[in-house]
Homo-oligomer: A and B are copies of this chain.
């Protein structure tokens, strides 16, 4: 997954204590999305943790790497994370030397958040496992089906 947001997600249960979802609830798209999210978040967050950060940080790194430096507000708007939550997120990234705040040359209210070389390195590692994970998760589906799914989720995400 790319990014998410800082929030506490209930863990996807271990194999031993997990049972199939109740069919009566799987009729609801919202329930399905919620539980799919729970699983993917757990899987991906474990990988992030191995690299020393977490899912929300990974999302910020990804965005910074793709789109270049931007202000915290921009980050928050794009990732749909509250501005005040973004402060702490960038604090963490800075503390771990994965990103840093730079002064904006023209607007002194703004910090331009910038990914560091260490951040790029960590992100690259994350992308490797992330893409492998997605590939495996989506292996049961055809290319067309994946396209449909993607389009649907994008629509649902608003």
Q: Measuring CB to CB, which residues of chain A are less than 8 angstroms from any residue of chain B?
A: 1-13, 17-19, 21-22, 24-41, 44, 59, 62-63, 66-67, 77-82, 85, 130, 134, 137-138, 140-141, 145, 148-150, 152-158
Beyond A34-B41, A145-B148, whether A25 also contacts B8 by CB under 8 A is: no
**In the complex, are the beta carbons of B158 and A34 less than 8 A apart?**
no
A5 — which chain B residues lie within 8 A by C-beta?
A: 10, 34, 38
**In the complex, are the beta carbons of B1 and A29 less than 8 A apart?**
yes
Number of copies: 2
A29 to chain B, nearest CB (A): 5
**In the complex, are the beta carbons of B156 and A26 less than 8 A apart?**
no
**In the complex, are the beta carbons of A36 and B33 less than 8 A apart?**
yes
